[in-house]
């Protein structure tokens, strides 16, 4: 694993905008003056760890449901039965992304699993692939995301029309959902975009409807389950005939409370970090993470009772915290990279890298492409 200097394409901005990555300049988000190079063996290790972690996570969901642990994850009880049904029916899941600590030497360690609403999908699937073809054409890339997404949509055979919902006036979400709609189109689906705020409810049919009053039979929602469950319309979700992507059982994984459950079930697993509810329980170095923290917000890193780093900018923490053993991220030229390892249909499908000047990855962290040889 190396961090290399790279030649910036003179027209890279136009090329990024041409594929739809409109916010590439925001705070220098897209960085192609550097890249990360891995060996084929290292990529194999990341791929294997990703599939193993997904398998463990699915087992942890089953355990949380069967042993009445959903309360600890701050999931409202009115949704417990629907989550159980969603899991037992094996409701369709499209994708997710693990955040992994990896230095190329030691086994990858799971930091968290964004199994509900991961973004950075266009830049992972398309932008870095085109960059590699132009700049590092003799190398390869761990990236079958686009093909896997298209093929995964095809397995949803009984849903010819899919509605895609995102928040109004959020450019990052718009870029992600536009790309995902394109993958569904390539799979032969009809797609309809709707803003979350525009979704209606048909009480007679017990189904959500779009602005034309048409039933939303299948809804891809780039909107977190923990928010949906607490919205005014959340009372209708559990009784709705609408199929949701990601499914309701993924709400168990979108909560960081899954981390101590994983450690409870699989202690000392090489890809897991020790984690606990409510207190460090003897950990000298740990990350204190709100259960529903997003984009690195309100996270604290502690070492021997000293606060090393913290991130602000979010409303999280009142819901409770988990305490996860602190892992030392590798540092290259003063930058700390985190691997984003993608899962499509339960299988590893590619990766991306976000790096920052601190060990806490946030929405302001840089996206850096990768290759391997």
Query: What distances in angstroms separate CA 191 from CA 148, 194, 201, one per listed residue?
Result: 18, 10, 20
Long-range residue pairs from 65-71, CB within 8 A, at least 24 positions apart, any chain: 65/249, 65/252, 69/261, 70/252
pLDDT, residue 335, reads 98
Please name the residue that has the structure tokens 């949701």.
244
Q: Quote the percentage of the chain above a pLDDT of 90.
A: 95
> Across-strand partners of 353?
339, 368
Distance of CA 32 to the CA centre of its chain: 22
Query: Would you kindly state where each structural domain of the chain is located, as residue ranges?
Result: 2-255+331-372, 274-325
State pTM to two decimals. Answer: 0.97
Chain mean pLDDT for the chain = 97
Tokens of 193: 């975009």
> What is the C-alpha to C-alpha distance for residues 265 and 348, in angstroms, rounded to an integer?
22
Residue 124 pLDDT > 90? yes
pLDDT digits (tens, 9 = 90+) for 35-92: 999 999 999 999 999 999 999 999 999 999 999 999 999 999 999 999 999 999 999 9
Residue 153 pLDDT > 90? yes
pLDDT digits (tens, 9 = 90+) for 159-183: 999 999 999 999 999 999 999 999 9
Residue 321: CA count within 13 A, CB half-sphere: 17
pLDDT, residue 313, reads 78
pLDDT digits (tens, 9 = 90+) for 269-297: 999 999 999 899 999 999 999 999 988 99
Residue 305 pLDDT > 90? no
pLDDT, residue 60, reads 99
The pLDDT confidence band at residue 312, using thresholds 50, 70 and 90, is: confident
The DSSP 8-state label assigned to residue 329 in this structure reads: -
Q: Are 77 and 238 in contact (CB under 8 A)?
A: no
Q: Are 60 and 68 in contact (CB under 8 A)?
A: no
pLDDT, residue 317, reads 86
């Amino acid at each position: 694993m190396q961090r290399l200097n790279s030649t910036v394409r003179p027209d890279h901005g136009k090329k990024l905008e041409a594929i739809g990555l409109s916010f590439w300049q925001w705070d220098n988000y897209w960085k192609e003056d550097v890249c990360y190079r891995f060996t084929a063996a290292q990529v194999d290790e990341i791929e294997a760890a990703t599939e193993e972690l997904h398998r463990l996570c699915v087992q942890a969901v089953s355990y949380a449901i069967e042993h009445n642990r959903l309360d600890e994850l701050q999931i409202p009880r009115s949704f417990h039965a629907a989550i159980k049904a969603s899991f037992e029916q094996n409701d369709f899941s499209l994708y997710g992304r693990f955040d992994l600590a990896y230095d190329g030497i030691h086994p990858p360690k799971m930091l968290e699993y964004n199994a509900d609403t991961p973004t950075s999908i266009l830049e992972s699937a398309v932008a870095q692939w085109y960059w590699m073809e132009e700049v590092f054409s003799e190398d390869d890339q761990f990236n079958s995301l686009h093909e896997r997404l298209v093929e995964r949509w095809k397995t949803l055979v009984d849903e010819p029309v899919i509605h895609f919902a995102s928040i109004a006036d959020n450019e990052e979400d718009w870029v992600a959902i536009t790309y995902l709609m394109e993958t569904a189109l390539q799979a032969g689906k009809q797609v309809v975009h709707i803003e979350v705020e525009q979704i209606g409810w048909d009480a007679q049919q017990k189904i959500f409807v779009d602005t034309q009053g048409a039933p939303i039979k299948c809804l891809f929602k780039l909107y977190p389950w923990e928010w949906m469950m607490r919205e005014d319309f959340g009372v209708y979700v559990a009784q709705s005939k609408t199929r949701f992507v990601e499914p309701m059982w993924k709400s168990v994984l979108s909560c960081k409370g899954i981390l101590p459950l994983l450690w409870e079930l699989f202690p000392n697993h090489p890809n897991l970090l020790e984690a606990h509810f409510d207190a460090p329980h003897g950990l000298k170095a740990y990350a204190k993470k709100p259960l529903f923290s997003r984009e690195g917000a309100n996270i604290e890193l502690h070492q021997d009772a000293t606060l090393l780093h913290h991130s602000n900018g979010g409303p999280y923490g009142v819901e409770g915290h988990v305490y996860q053993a602190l892992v030392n991220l590798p540092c290259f030229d003063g930058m700390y990279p985190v691997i984003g390892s993608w899962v499509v249909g339960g299988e590893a499908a590619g990766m991306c890298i976000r790096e920052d000047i601190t060990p806490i990855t946030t929405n302001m962290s840089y996206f850096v492409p990768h290759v391997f040889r």
